[in-house]
C-alpha cells in the first residue's frame, strides 16, 4: 500500500509495508519490526521513502496539547498510550495567521486567515537506518523553524540532509503568536518561577528533553545533538544557548539569519528607563484589547484561557496599534539576560557554534511592501527616521542618502539588513571568538535563476540558504525560483559541511573553514561561482563601524542608552533596582538595602572633577563594604558614578566639552568608583 503526497513540490512515495508488518505481527523471531520505536509515551511506527531509504516519523507528540489549563503554562509530557501510533501525517501547524507568500504551513489559505491548532506540539524525525533496532547512533540535528515567532511549522518532508549527512534530523514545532509569547502579571503569578512570555521557548526546551529521552531508539546519539534554526528559529537557538534550563540538552548550535538581542525585560522597577516598555506592560495592553483588562489575577487568567485560539494568533488584536512585536522575555529564570550579553559574558559553554547570514537579508521585507518602497523612493532619510527614531541620526552618517534616488532602496536594504541581521551575526562571532571559542561565520551569496524580475531583485534573500542546507531545493519552485545543477552541488556541499560540524564540531569543507577570531574575521562564502570561499572582509568592513556607533551610546549593548542606564557598563535589560538607589542591581554592591558604598573625593584630574562638579557630582574611589551615604554632592539617591556619567553626556551635548574630554571623564569614572561599576 502506498500514498502519494506533495509536501515539497514533487511527489513523495511513502511505503506502508512496515506498518502492515507491524499490524500483522509479521517479524523475524527476536527482531524488532522495521521502523517501530518504543518511546516514553508508547510505540510509534514510521514510513520509509523507497527512493532514499530514509524513515520518516511524522507528528510525534513531545508535549501534551497546551489547551485549557495548559494554555499559557509550561509544557508537560504527553500522556502515555498502549496503542501503536502510526506516524504518517504531519502535525497541525500551531495557531497562526497566513501571510501573502505560499508555504506548506497554511494549506494555501487566503492571506489573513487564521489556521492551525493548539494541539501542535509535535516533531518529525528523519533517519536513514538499515537495521532495527538501530545498530549505530548517528549525530542528531534539530531544526527550529522561523517566522517571526508568529508563523511557521514543521510540515515538510526533508529527508535529504538525513540521507546525505548520515544524521538523524528532527524538526520541531512550538507555540506561536500570543499563545507562545504573551506575558501579564496574572500569567506570571500562575507560573512556579513567576515567569511569563516564554511559552514557545519552553516548548523548544521540552522538545530537547524528549529528544534526550527517546532519540536513541531512532538511531540518534543523545550525547551528540546540534540545534540550528533560521530567523526566529535562530533567535530561539540564541536563547537556548543562554538559558540555564537548556544546559546539557545539546552540544552544538547554528544561528542563521537571527539577532540575539530579540528579547525584552519581563518587568522592571517603576520609573526605570524601560518602564512602560516591558513584556508585562505590552501584555496588559493586549489583554485589555482582548476584553480581559481590569480583572484581578485569577479572573484575568481565566479570561485569557477562555478566549478563542484564533483571537490569540499573531502579534495582537486588530484594534491594538501600534503592535509591540513579539519577543522573548528576559525574566531572570528562563532567560537571565538578552542572549548576546550572556554569550559575551559567559560564552557558549564549550559548545561550537556556526553563525550565518545571507547577502540580501532585508530585501524580502522591503521590496514586497509597496507602501514602504514608495516611502523610501520619495525620501530615504525620512523613511529611516520613521523606523529608527533618534537612532537614525547616529546611523545616517554611516548610511547616507545616495546621490541617485534610484539607489535609495538598495541603501535602505543595506542599512536594515546589516542592522538587524548581518552585523548581529558578527556580534556573536566577535563575542565567542574573543573568548577563544570555536565559532564559524557563514555568508551565503548565491542567487539561483528566476524568470521573474521582482524575485530576481531579492537576490540572496532572507532564509534562502535554508533550502540548500536542508536539501529542499524543489520547494523553491513555488516561489518561481528554479535552481540548476550548480545549485544542487552547492546544496550537497553545505549539507556535508553542516553534518560534519554536527558529527565532530568542525565543518567538513574544502578548503578548511577557519574559525572566527577578532582581528582576523575570516568567513566562508557560499556561491556557485566563488573561487576561494575563505574570505577576510565581511560586508566591506561596515559592521565594525556600525558596532562602534552603537557602542558609543550603549557600551554594554543592553538596548538601554548609557545616558539613562542604571548599569551602563553591565548588561541590565530589566533595569531592576530593588533598593531604589538608581544603581541597578546588576552593578550595585548593596542591591538589597538602602545602604550605599561609601563615596569619597577621588584623585581624578582636577579639571575633570571640576567639570563634573558643575552638576553637583563628586568622583568616587574604590571602597569595600556598604555604609549609609547621603549621595554624591548631597544629591540623593543618585550614585556618584551615574551622576558623573550623566555630567559627561550633558556637558558634551551642550558643547562644553569635546569628545576626548568626555571620554576622559568616563574613563575616570570607570577607574575611580566601587567594584563592578
Catalytic (active-site) positions: 231, 361, 462
**Whole-number Å distance between alpha carbons of 457 and 256:** 22
Q: In 10 A of CB 499, how many CB atoms?
A: 24
Cβ atoms of 490 and 468 closer than 8 Å: yes
**Whole-number Å distance between alpha carbons of 565 and 582:** 9
Q: Which of 137, 283, 115, 144 is nearest to 206 (CA)?
A: 144
Q: How far is CA 490 from CA 132, 159, 267, 346, 530, in A?
A: 33, 17, 46, 35, 11
> Would you list the DSSP string of 634-655?
G--S--HHHHHHHHHHHHHHTT
Q: How far is CA 189 from CA 237, 280, 301, in A?
A: 27, 12, 9
Q: What is the dihedral of CA 64, 66, 67, 69, to 10 degrees?
A: 90
**Whole-number Å distance between alpha carbons of 288 and 98:** 24
How far does the chain reach from its first CA to its final CA, in angstroms?
A: 70
Element (H, E) at 230: strand 220-230
> Torsions phi, psi of 501, nearest 5?
-60, -45
> Would you list the DSSP string of 528-546?
TT-SS-EES-SGGGHHHHH
Chain center to CA of 256: 9
**Whole-number Å distance between alpha carbons of 446 and 423:** 19
Non-local (6+) Cβ contacts of 428 within 8 A are 238, 255, 260, 340, 343, 353, 355, 439
Q: What share of the chain is helix, strand, coil (3-state, %, to 5)?
A: 35, 15, 50
> Torsions phi, psi of 671, nearest 5?
-95, -5
- Pairing relationship of beta strands 534-535 and 523-526 according to DSSP bridges: antiparallel
Q: C-alpha cell of 239?
A: 536563547
**Whole-number Å distance between alpha carbons of 624 and 636:** 20
CA gyration radius, the chain? 27
Amino acid at each position: 500500500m502506498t500514498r502519494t503526497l506533495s509536501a515539497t513540490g514533487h511527489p513523495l512515495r511513502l511505503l506502508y509495508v512496515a506498518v502492515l508488518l507491524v499490524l500483522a505481527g509479521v517479524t523475524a523471531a527476536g527482531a524488532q519490526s522495521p521502523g517501530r520505536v518504543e518511546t516514553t509515551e508508547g510505540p510509534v511506527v514510521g514510513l520509509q521513502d523507497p527512493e532514499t531509504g530514509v524513515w520518516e516519523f511524522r507528528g510525534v507528540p513531545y508535549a501534551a496539547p497546551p489547551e485549557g489549563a495548559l494554555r499559557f503554562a509550561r509544557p508537560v509530557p504527553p500522556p502515555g498510550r498502549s496503542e501503536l501510533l502510526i506516524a504518517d501525517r504531519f502535525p497541525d501547524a500551531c495557531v497562526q495567521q497566513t501571510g501573502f507568500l505560499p508555504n506548506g504551513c497554511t494549506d494555501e489559505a487566503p492571506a489573513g486567515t487564521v489556521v492551525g491548532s493548539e494541539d501542535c506540539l509535535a516533531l518529525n524525525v528523519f533517519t536513514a537506518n538499515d537495521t532495527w533496532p538501530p545498530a549505530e547512533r548517528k549525530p542528531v540535528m534539530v531544526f527550529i523553524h522561523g517566522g517571526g515567532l508568529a508563523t511557521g511549522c514543521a510540515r515538510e518532508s526533508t529527508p535529504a540532509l538525513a540521507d546525505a549527512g548520515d544524521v538523524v534530523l528532527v524538526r520541531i514545532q512550538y507555540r506561536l503568536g500570543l499563545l507562545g509569547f504573551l506575558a501579564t502579571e496574572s500569567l506570571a503569578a500562575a507560573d512556579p518561577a513567576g515567569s511569563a512570555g516564554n511559552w514557545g521557548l519552553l516548548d523548544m526546551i521540552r522538545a530537547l528533553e524528549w529528544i534526550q529521552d527517546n532519540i536513541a531508539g531512532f538511531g540518534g546519539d543523545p550525547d551528540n545533538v546540534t540545534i540550528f534554526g533560521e530567523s526566529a528559529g535562530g533567535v530561539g537557538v540564541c536563547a537556548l544557548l543562554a538559558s540555564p534550563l537548556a544546559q546539557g540538552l545539546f552540544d552544538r548550535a547554528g544561528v542563521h539569519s537571527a539577532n540575539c538581542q530579540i528579547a525584552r525585560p519581563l518587568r522592571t522597577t517603576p520609573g526605570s528607563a524601560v518602564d512602560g516598555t516591558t513584556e508585562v506592560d505590552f501584555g496588559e495592553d493586549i489583554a485589555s484589547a482582548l476584553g480581559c483588562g481590569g480583572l484581578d489575577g485569577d479572573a484575568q487568567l481565566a479570561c485569557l484561557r477562555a478566549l478563542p485560539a484564533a483571537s490569540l494568533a499573531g502579534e495582537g488584536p486588530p484594534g491594538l496599534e501600534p503592535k509591540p512585536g513579539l519577543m522573548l522575555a528576559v525574566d531572570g529564570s528562563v532567560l537571565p539576560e538578552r542572549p548576546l550579553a550572556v554569550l559575551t559574558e559567559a560564552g557558549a559553554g564549550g559548545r561550537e557554534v556556526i553563525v550565518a547570514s545571507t547577502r540580501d537579508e532585508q530585501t524580502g521585507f522591503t521590496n514586497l511592501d509597496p507602501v514602504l518602497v514608495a516611502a523610501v523612493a520619495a525620501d530615504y532619510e525620512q523613511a529611516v527616521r520613521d523606523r529608527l527614531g533618534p537612532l537614525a541620526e547616529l546611523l545616517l552618517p554611516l548610511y547616507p542618502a545616495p546621490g541617485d534616488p534610484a539607489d535609495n532602496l538598495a541603501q535602505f536594504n543595506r542599512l536594515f539588513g546589516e542592522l538587524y541581521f548581518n552585523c548581529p551575526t558578527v556580534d556573536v562571532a566577535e563575542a565567542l571568538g574573543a573568548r577563544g571559542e570555536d565559532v564559524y561565520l557563514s555568508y551565503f551569496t548565491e542567487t539561483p535563476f528566476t524568470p521573474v524580475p521582482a524575485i530576481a531583485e531579492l537576490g540572496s534573500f532572507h532564509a534562502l540558504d535554508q533550502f540548500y542546507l536542508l536539501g529542499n531545493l524543489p520547494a523553491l519552485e513555488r516561489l518561481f525560483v528554479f535552481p540548476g545543477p550548480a545549485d544542487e552541488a552547492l546544496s550537497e556541499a553545505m549539507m556535508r559541511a553542516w553534518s560534519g560540524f554536527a558529527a565532530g564540531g568542525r565543518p567538513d569543507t574544502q578548503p578548511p573553514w577557519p574559525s572566527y577570531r577578532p582581528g582576523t574575521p575570516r568567513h566562508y562564502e557560499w556561491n556557485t561561482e566563488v573561487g576561494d570561499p575563505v574570505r577576510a572582509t565581511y560586508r566591506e568592513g561596515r559592521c565594525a563601524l556600525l558596532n562602534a556607533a552603537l557602542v558609543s551610546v550603549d557600551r554594554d549593548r543592553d538596548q538601554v542608552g548609557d545616558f539613562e542606564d542604571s548599569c551602563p557598563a553591565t548588561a541590565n535589560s530589566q533595569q531592576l533596582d530593588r533598593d531604589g538607589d538608581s544603581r541597578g542591581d546588576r552593578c550595585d554592591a548593596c542591591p538589597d538595602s538602602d545602604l550605599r558604598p561609601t563615596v569619597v573625593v577621588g584623585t581624578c584630574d582636577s579639571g575633570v572633577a571640576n567639570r563634573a562638579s558643575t552638576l553637583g557630582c563628586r568622583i568616587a574611589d574604590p571602597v569595600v563594604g556598604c555604609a549609609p551615604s547621603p549621595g554624591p554632592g548631597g544629591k540623593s539617591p543618585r550614585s556618584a558614578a551615574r551622576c558623573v556619567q550623566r555630567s559627561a553626556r550633558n556637558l558634551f551635548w551642550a558643547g562644553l566639552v569635546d569628545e576626548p574630554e568626555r571620554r576622559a571623564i568616563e574613563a575616570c569614572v570607570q577607574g575611580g568608583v566601587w567594584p563592578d561599576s
